[in-house]
Amino acid sequence: MNMKEYINTGSKDTRSGFGEALLELGKQDDRVVALCADLTGSLKMDDFANAFPERFFEVGIAEANMICIAAGLTIGGKIPFAGSFANFVTGRVYDQIRQCIAYSDKNVKICASHAGITLGEDGATHQIMEDIGLMKMLPNMIVVNPCDFNQTKAATFAVAKHRGPVYLRFGRPKVPNFTQPDMPFEIGKAILMNEGADVTIAATGHMVWHALEATRMLEAKGISAEVLDIHTIKPLDKEAILNSIKKTGCIVTAEEHMMNGGLGDSIAQLLCREFPAPLEMVAVDDRFGESGQPDELLKKFGLDAGHILAMAVKVVARK
Amino acid sequence: MLSVKKLQDISNQVRRDIIRMTHMAGSGHPGGALGAADFLVTLYYEFMKPDPNGFTMDGTEEDIFFLSNGHVSALWYSVLARYGYFGIKELGTFRRMGSRLQGHPSIIDGLPGIRVASGSLGMGLSVATGAALAKKLNNDNHLVYLMLGDGELEEGQNWEALMFASAWKVDNLIAVIDYNGQQIDGPVEKVMDLGNLRAKLEAFGWHVIEMYGNDIPDILEKMKESIANLHKGKPVIVIMTTHMGFGVKFMLDNHKWHGVPPNDDEAKQALAQLDETLGDF
């Protein structure tokens, strides 16, 4: 089986995909409004803010207020996109999200940039790697974590169409842009990036590219890897994952997140219940991040192609 | 327009409902609910006058109300039922498993009249501000009302919202602080002294009005004044002095009745002090 080729058409940050889509959504639908807590440029929301000043709310450094104002704006039919760094729109405002958005089933899109270790130099205070867990535990909440610029743009359009609370997670650094701009994006439907026979690699966010790189390296070792892009962590595409594992017999999960509460944890739960099979996780093992450049941090924290490769070899041996 | 006597009668019946609901449930928060009854009845019957049969989540083209201090849910449920949002018999399900009348307000199972959950404190002012912004965007001239507790002002998020609403000139919003001076651990001034609250609110850029919330003529006058001060670039906030437990002598001004239901004897005593004006549920 030959590996499917993916070409990096030019590295771009995923947050810019969000920003472009938000501007476009603003043009398409005047119910779309946006809020930001003093990070408008970082979130790439400035084009929207400039184009639609009457629909953009700068709340200042007050995320709790922002989240609940967003909930209030839905009462009146608006579709609010509330943005900040992942840390500040999850952990900092968990109870606000829980009561006013999730439990109240409000149509708010929580937009989280600078997620994960690749936030880089700012260090652990800003590098949240618990956010997927926090958000996926909330009933009614959808959790989406796209892999590149094109997919983040597509995901932003998709979450706008979905009625209900959404956590949309993206990142800071420029990363390879390799999915097709017209690739269909359906919430809750994993994308089969590469067919393989020996091991499944289920990756989310920035780690999808690393998974594809690992797949090339595995091919050289004679191991055929199937790669799933799990852009939606909740609801999880159980069918796609189980179908793949029934074929390959083992799985590696890869994410820029803690092991506790992340994608690997969701898939482990699925396997234990429905189809026990060897599983290894590429994720952060119960420690905080630190300052550094994104690429060197990924390596240090075991979140790169090399580590996915090592885990794949390990999990295949466990079959 | 209803007479003051009629509004008092409804408020008394609402107070009976609150006593009976918390007594039957064996839990709940009667004190603050009793104290704010005159206000909430007057607000719904004389000012908002919403269509109870045409409830929509968006509340387009009608005045809408949010309750931030969700623990006085028995009061809100009683007013909603008496006003016609749902049958008064349902009040008997308060806090029971499977009821739409959850301990704290929620939108589960679509209880008409409620648009957002509350109970975890300090969030309502932000939600109401968002809803008021939506009304402005929709060119909907109706108003947004909010009630919040005095102890609740200890939550910092309120001050974020106070800052925002004046900076953004959210002048279609009236926030009413139920200033009964009591919270769970004791008098507010002992737990966390709010200091010169009026000066603080004015410094945050709000138009401040003081009102006595256990006197219907004063409520009528001051709420009219509040409305007259809207659409002038400032949100309006009412410091509404009330008595916790108003209407039941042994509960009056006593923080112990914040979150404790009356037992059989206490309920009997309390109901003896409140006329059954509209018929119990």
Determine the Cα–Cα distance for residues B232 and B238; give it in Å rounded to an integer. Answer: 16
Q: What is the mean pLDDT of chain A?
A: 97
The CATH number for A94's domain is 3.40.50.970
pLDDT recorded at residue A145: 98
Domain endpoint, select from A175, A200, A231: A175
Q: Are A170 and A108 found together in one domain?
A: yes
Between residues 116 and 175 of chain B, which touch chain A (CB distance below 8 Å)?
Answer: 116-120, 122-124, 126-135, 137-138, 140, 156-157, 160-161, 163-164, 167-168
Asked if the Cβ–Cβ distance from B132 to A72 is below 8 Å, we say yes
Nearest to A14 by CA among A169, A120, A165: A169
Domain endpoint, select from A175, A209, A236: A175
Determine the Cα–Cα distance for residues B36 and B30; give it in Å rounded to an integer. Answer: 10
The dihedral region occupied by B158, where left means phi > 0, alpha psi between -120 and 50, and beta the remainder, is alpha
Determine the Cα–Cα distance for residues B77 and B114; give it in Å rounded to an integer. Answer: 9
**Smallest CA–CA separation between A55 and chain B, in Å?**
8
How confident is the model over B40-65, as a mean pLDDT? 97
Q: Are A25 and A147 found together in one domain?
A: yes
How confident is the model over B197-220, as a mean pLDDT? 98
pLDDT recorded at residue B118: 98
3-state SS record for B102-160:
CCCCCCHHHCCCCCCCCCCCCCHHHHHHHHHHHHHHCCCCCCEEEEEECHHHHCCHHHH
Residue at A181 is within a domain = no
Q: Are A41 and A106 found together in one domain?
A: yes
Residue at A25 is within a domain = yes
Q: Are A121 and A252 found together in one domain?
A: no
Whether residue B108 is predicted with pLDDT greater than 90 in this model: the reply is no
Residue at A139 is within a domain = yes
pLDDT in tens, B258-268: 999 999 999 99
Confidence at B109, pLDDT banded by 50, 70, 90: confident
The single residue listed with the structure tokens 């184009």 is: A51
Determine the Cα–Cα distance for residues B93 and A49; give it in Å rounded to an integer. Answer: 47
Nearest to A159 by CA among A202, A107, A204, A116: A107
pLDDT in tens, A165-212: 999 999 999 999 999 999 899 999 999 999 999 999 999 999 999 999
Q: Are A278 and A161 found together in one domain?
A: no
Residue at A186 is within a domain = no
What are the φ/ψ torsions at residue B145 (nearest 5 degrees)? -115, 150
pLDDT recorded at residue A226: 98
Q: Are A157 and A254 found together in one domain?
A: no
Active-site option among A5, A20, A54, A63: A63
Q: Are A68 and A135 found together in one domain?
A: yes
Alpha carbon distance, N-terminus to C-terminus of chain B: 25
Domain endpoint, select from A148, A175, A202: A175
Q: Are A39 and A139 found together in one domain?
A: yes
Determine the Cα–Cα distance for residues A173 and A11; give it in Å rounded to an integer. Answer: 9
Confidence at A1, pLDDT banded by 50, 70, 90: low
Which pair of structure tokens corresponds to residue A89?
A: 């729109």
Coil, strand, or helix at residue B10?
helix
Report how far apart, in Å, the C-alpha atoms of B38 and of each of A19, B46, B60 are. 49, 11, 26
Asked if the Cβ–Cβ distance from B129 to A77 is below 8 Å, we say no
Q: Are A164 and A85 found together in one domain?
A: yes
**A237-246, B103-112, B206-215, B229-238, range with the lowest pLDDT:** B103-112
pLDDT recorded at residue B216: 98
Residue at A234 is within a domain = yes
Q: Is A11 exposed, middle or buried (0-12, 13-18, 19+ CB in 10 A)?
A: middle
Chain B residues within an 8 Å CB radius of A104: 106-107, 115-117
pLDDT in tens, A138-156: 999 999 999 999 999 999 9
What value of ipTM does the predicted structure carry?
0.97
pLDDT recorded at residue A3: 81
Compare CB distances from B127 to A55, A60, A72 and report the shortest one's residue: A72
**CATH number corresponding to B4-272:** 3.40.50.970
Q: Which residues pair with B111 in a beta bridge?
A: none
pLDDT recorded at residue A15: 98
> In whole angstroms, how large is the CA radius of gyration of chain B?
17
- Spatial contact of B41 and B33, defined as CB atoms under 8 Å apart: no
Nearest to B149 by CA among B255, B260, B215, B67: B67
Amino acid at B61: E
How confident is the model over B33-62, as a mean pLDDT? 97
Chain A residues within an 8 Å CB radius of B164: 59-60, 62, 65, 69
Residue at A208 is within a domain = yes
Q: Are A96 and A223 found together in one domain?
A: no
- Spatial contact of A17 and A151, defined as CB atoms under 8 Å apart: yes
Determine the Cα–Cα distance for residues A229 and B208; give it in Å rounded to an integer. Answer: 55
Q: Alpha-carbon dihedral of residues B28, B29, B35, B41, nearest 10 degrees?
A: -40
Confidence at A242, pLDDT banded by 50, 70, 90: very high
Query: DSSP code of A235?
Result: S
Q: Which residues contact B184 (CB under 8 A, 6 or more apart)?
A: B151, B255, B258, B259
Residue at A156 is within a domain = yes
Amino acid at B82: R
- Catalytic-residue membership of A63: yes
Determine the Cα–Cα distance for residues A244 and B45; give it in Å rounded to an integer. Answer: 62
Asked if the Cβ–Cβ distance from B134 to A72 is below 8 Å, we say yes
pLDDT in tens, A10-41: 999 999 999 999 999 999 999 999 999 999 99
**Smallest CA–CA separation between B137 and chain A, in Å?**
8
- Give how many domains chain A has, as a whole number: 2
pLDDT recorded at residue B196: 98
Domain range for A53 is 12-175
Amino acid at B120: S
Sequence ranges of the domains in chain B: 4-272
Residue of A nearest to B138 (CA): A76
pLDDT recorded at residue A45: 98
**What percent of chain A lies above the pLDDT cut of 90?**
97
Determine the Cα–Cα distance for residues B186 and B81; give it in Å rounded to an integer. Answer: 32
Whether residue A230 is predicted with pLDDT greater than 90 in this model: the reply is yes
pLDDT in tens, A81-127: 999 999 999 999 999 999 999 999 999 999 999 999 999 999 999 99
**What percent of chain A lies above the pLDDT cut of 70?**
100
